[in-house]
Amino acid sequence: MDIITWMRKNSGVFRHAGSFLSYSEKVDSILLVGEFAASLANFYRTIGFTGPLYSYDGGESFSRSLMFTQIEECERIEGSYSVISAPLYIQGLNVKELTAFLFDCHDALEDGGLLYLSFPDAITPSVGDKVLVDSFYSDGKIYMKYYSLIDILQSTETIGFSIASIEMDRIDFHDRLISLALTKKKE
């Protein structure tokens, strides 16, 4: 599938990629988590972000982003960031991995920092593990865990995040795509 076709098919995934930044008090550094986020490095530069960009678990998208913008790869989520952007990342994590990921993001964000998540919304809570489904970004199959919005809101609230924004989009690979902007509560 060529990049233009892919972007048209998946435009809902990126619709909130720039607007969610307005929910942060400051945007000094951004950690991009996962392949979708790494592919947005050039976009953030285009809309005027001049601070350091970091990538965690960026895969091939990280390598492509290096060709066009300065971005540093991280081996783990640690440090201090004003924004962590993880579109279409958590559905690849099982429950234990998701919990560890959310705690890592909380620890790595500055007080008042912003965590951006997007994920396909499960109609009902899923108690099972990841399932093999058709990939929404390639012609292959991938393992996904479907989380409901309530699952994620309860988990993030318990860890210490508050809701800045919730957006819902219809998208062709699933009924709804949830986009969440969460702020780390100030201690």
> Is pLDDT at 14 greater than 80 in this prediction?
no
Return the pLDDT at 113: 94
Q: Is the pLDDT of residue 137 over 60?
A: no
Looking at residue 7, its pLDDT comes to 58
* Proportion of the chain above pLDDT 90, given as a percent: 33
4 or 18: whose pLDDT is higher? 18
pLDDT tops 60 at residue 54: yes
Is it the case that residue 104 has pLDDT exceeding 90? yes
The pLDDT score that the predictor gives to residue 30 is 93
- What is the topology classification, in CATH, of domain 3-184? Rossmann fold (3.40.50)
**Dihedral angle, C-alpha 91, 125, 23, 158, nearest 10 °:** -100
SS (H, E, C) the chain: CCHHHHHHHCHHHHCCCCHHHHHCCCCCCEEEEHHHHHCCHHHHHHCCCCCCEEEECCHHHHHHHHCCCCCEEECCCCCCEEEEEEECCHHHCCHHHHHHHHHHHHHHEEEEEEEEEEEEECCCCCCCCCEEEECCCCCCEEEECCECHHHHHHHHHHHCEEEEEEEEEEECCEEEEEEEEEEECCC
pLDDT at position 49, please?
84
Question: Is residue 116 scored above 60 in pLDDT?
Answer: yes
In the prediction, which pLDDT does 88 show? 85
Assess whether pLDDT exceeds 60 at residue 3.
no
> Between these two residues, 117 and 175, which has the higher pLDDT value?
117
| 68, pLDDT greater than 70 | no
Least confident range from 13-22, 40-49, 100-109, 131-140: namely 131-140
